Structure 1
């Protein structure tokens, strides 16, 4: 993480390993498999952010993952743990805007942005809906499929 910042990264995205990374390509899928084989958990990722944030509180850190981990921990508990670690934003790729309110509200209460994806196929109406609740930035997926 320090090397990325030293070489110009403005924001860091850390993936939370998941057993069924449906929104990720083969490289990230293999990375998730390796991480899981080494027992890397959401708690480990949060600890990594906490350690980084102790010496760098200027570079935003966004967690990218799937709702299962967050749901299992509980939205409030996750939001508190993420805030304590120094997380600035969270993107759960399998959480549509229509069902995100409990997580969004928990994150917002702890000063954490809720990041959303849009794609070339996203309708204008849906983009407007996402824009009303998104924080930090909107992640544009530039390719179809």
Structure 2
């Protein structure tokens, strides 16, 4: 967990406010890493650390969330942490598009190697053609290019 937090702080530098908070309430087994970029056009993100114990020492799962609706639930193996770092790097670099339609959204990231990963959120009711009718928002990088 500490390595991922350090990576986020390093990647963001002074371009974003980074906070780390513990879940509230008795038996809370979550920690939240929040990133709020200073540029309004950039995408914020948060990482929820699911913890195995109340002492907040053992991380058992990660959930990476973007303000625009992207969500990736991953484990804590080395490959999962590498993916989380890639997501952070893509968001900070502004390689994010968000398409929001009525009752649904899709967030796409372009990772450093050029591959894409997407996350969709939507209602159960089908809406054929919603992507063709919905504009795509391109998120800005944390720092001006």
TM-score, normalised via structure 1 length:
0.26
Higher helix share: 1
